[in-house]
Chain A
Amino acid sequence: MSARTAALVLFTVLVVVSMTLTWLAGRRTRTAGDFWAAGGAISPARNAVATLGDFMSGSALLGVIGLMFLYGYDALFYLTIPLLAWIPVMLLIAERLRNLGQYTLTDVLVRRFRSRSLRSVLAISTLVISGIYLLAQMVVIGNLFALLSGIDYTVAIVLAGVIMVLYVAIGGMHGATVIQSVKAVLLLAVLAGMTVLLVIKFGGDIGGMVAKAVAPAGGTDPLQPGNLLKDPWNMLSVGLAATFGVAGLPHLMMRFFTVRDAVHARRSVTMTVAMITVASILIAFIGLGASALLRPETRELAASGGNLVTPRLAEVLGGGSGTFGGAVTLGIVSAIAFATVVAVVSGLLVNASSAVVRDLWNQFDRPGPPDREVARGRLTSVVIGAVVVVIAAVLGPRYNAAVLVTLAFGIAASANFPVLLFALTWRRFTTSGAVTGVLSGLGASVMLMILGPTLWPGADPPVNLADPTLIALPVGVLGCVIGTLLSRRSAREEFDEVQIESELGRATIANVTGERIAGESGTPNTAAN
């Protein structure tokens, strides 16, 4: 059996099984709350697994291992900083977000200001962030599927686009959670399996593997920092993006609304962080293993931006090219990587659709019965999926997924994070400040991203900053501050109300005050809108 056949058979099995699970889960979707937030009925453990699935996309499995192979130490930065970003999420945001939100991050921000214009600009920001993130995943899918099947890159992403749209249209958030959970377990299993194979390959001599991995090669010393991000300001910019971007990523924060209450949200974060830590350590180890084993193939592997290092390493660990073991291991890893990306893309698509339907479409045309909003969600998923496939086809396969994902982090950090932070903590903060903050952060980050070296088509980009956050984040903060200071002071009571509700949650408030909350039915925030 060839590697291609093995991979395609495994991939088909994975798609059929996960599609069936999605359909079974999707049968529970009756209302908009079910479609967007799984009715708040996901347990903390399942939500943690699904969050791991959302967080560790194809960019982690393929992109970071590829970067580690190509540039050594600098790639660790892409593991540690996003992980450190979970500390402020846990300490400052998770519980308060769950207490205030309904289905999306936008719901939380609009909870304080009740502004249509804010809802609209946040929807645009969410679409841009999810769009870049989706593009990163599509690049991985195109590369992988072209490798596996031998078909054209464009055909590969069209096929992947059809599969991701089907997942979301059939299952909504219930379905996305199921496939995220399955995929996260498979991802951890692949990482653990490759680690074991590496240890066996080196006869248990991990020190020997590390020594071989960090041996300087081709003028690059992988042990030392500065191979990928040579400019310290670039490194600082990527660091800021990864730190503040996590809290601004709508598809990740949306996960807090799928659990019952704030306590479950906190439990979910703790478990998520534990799993991400384990996965990160395994990824770093596998990256070192790839450096030790694949150094002679650097030029070929660099052509795909490093995205194909993981499948190639799997083939080598299974016995090498042309062997049955090599074919099987390449097939397994590629199929799971493919499934990983499709799963992440499904979660992103739910999020992007929710921004369009809930924050734009429903504002201008009331959805009426709940099933009409679900129908709108399905239709929007199809349209967004088609647009992303076209853009990914135009961009082509040359981008590293981890680098593209970091750009999405940068936009989230610049446009969403300052507004979220000020909305929760600054009494004087006004609607104008929030709208100005989102627009200035979004505009600056997108502009710098287009003019920067990652996306600029020529060899001499106008801006030399690889990630826009170093400039765009202060611009977003300034936008919030200036917009607020130049506008009329907002009502103090609303801030107090948000503070109380973010601390207590509506269910606790009902218990303490003895009030009955309208529409309360196990999910504390279902009546906020």
Chain B
Amino acid sequence: MAARSPYPVDANALRLAGELRKRRRYLVAKLGLPSLACYLAYLSLVTFGQSFLRIGVPGGLSVGWVLTAVMLLLPLVVCALFARGARRSLDRLRESEAGEASGR
């Protein structure tokens, strides 16, 4: 069974964790909410809007195939943007705090 955590929850850690959480929430909201909207729209269309997906597009395919192609690429775009944002926003803060602490 796990033992108690070996570190003290001190003011520095609390402050840094709070700031990181705030920044992460912003990033997650900025990328997650549009992704969620896309996901819900896709799931709704696939389950209850199949007549819309059957509409033909030039090239012999249908709206459904085009929509699926877009949804296949969406996770890659979102993850890449999140990774970039996290590098700029979260990692830099962690590094600067660690640098300050080693200076102390």
Q: Decide: A90 and B6 in contact? CB cutoff 8 A.
A: no
Q: Decide: A266 and B83 in contact? CB cutoff 8 A.
A: yes
Q: How far is the CB of A465 from chain B (nearest CB, A)?
A: 13
Q: How far is the CA of A367 from the CA of B12 in the complex (A)?
A: 38
Q: How far is the CA of A503 from the CA of B10 in the complex (A)?
A: 14
Q: Decide: B79 and A513 in contact? CB cutoff 8 A.
A: no
Known contacts A116-B1, A210-B59, A509-B13; decide if A80 and B35 are in contact (CB<8 Å): no
Q: Decide: B8 and A513 in contact? CB cutoff 8 A.
A: yes
Q: Decide: B78 and A497 in contact? CB cutoff 8 A.
A: no
Interface of chain A: mostly helix, strand, loop or mixed: helix
Residues in B with CB closer than 8 Å to A214 are 60-61
- Find A80's partner among B42, B60, B104 (CB 8 Å cutoff): B42
The proximity string for A residues 214-246 relative to B, scoring 1 for CB distances below 8 Å and 0 otherwise, is 100000000111100000110110010001000
Known contacts A210-B59, A211-B60, A363-B1; decide if A512 and B71 are in contact (CB<8 Å): no
Q: How far is the CA of A494 from the CA of B72 in the complex (A)?
A: 39
Q: How far is the CB of B78 from chain A (nearest CB, A)?
A: 5
Q: Decide: A281 and B17 in contact? CB cutoff 8 A.
A: no
Q: How far is the CB of A506 from chain B (nearest CB, A)?
A: 7
- Number of chain A residues close to chain B: CB under 8 A: 69
Q: How far is the CA of A233 from the CA of B21 in the complex (A)?
A: 37
Q: How far is the CB of A445 from chain B (nearest CB, A)?
A: 20
Interface stretch of the complex, out of A164-172, A380-388, A514-522: A514-522
Q: Decide: A512 and B79 in contact? CB cutoff 8 A.
A: no
Q: How far is the CB of B13 from chain A (nearest CB, A)?
A: 5
Q: Decide: A499 and B5 in contact? CB cutoff 8 A.
A: no
Residues in B with CB closer than 8 Å to A225 are 46, 50, 53-54, 64
- Find A501's partner among B5, B35, B64, B75 (CB 8 Å cutoff): B5
Q: Decide: A207 and B47 in contact? CB cutoff 8 A.
A: no
Q: How far is the CA of A499 from the CA of B59 in the complex (A)?
A: 51
Of all chain A residues, which has the CB nearest B48? A232
Residues in B with CB closer than 8 Å to A83 are 71-72, 75
- Find B75's partner among A87, A284, A499 (CB 8 Å cutoff): A87
Residues in B with CB closer than 8 Å to A511 are 97-98, 101-102
Q: Decide: B5 and A513 in contact? CB cutoff 8 A.
A: no
Residues in A with CB closer than 8 Å to B59 are 207, 210
Q: How far is the CB of A118 from chain B (nearest CB, A)?
A: 10
Q: How far is the CA of A14 from the CA of B54 in the complex (A)?
A: 44
Chain A residues with CB under 8 Å of chain B are: 73, 76-77, 79-81, 83-84, 86-88, 90-92, 95, 107, 110-111, 114, 116, 119, 207, 210-211, 214, 223-226, 232-233, 235-236, 239, 243, 263, 266-267, 269-270, 273-274, 277, 280-281, 284, 363, 493, 496-497, 499-501, 503-504, 506, 508-515, 517-518, 527-529
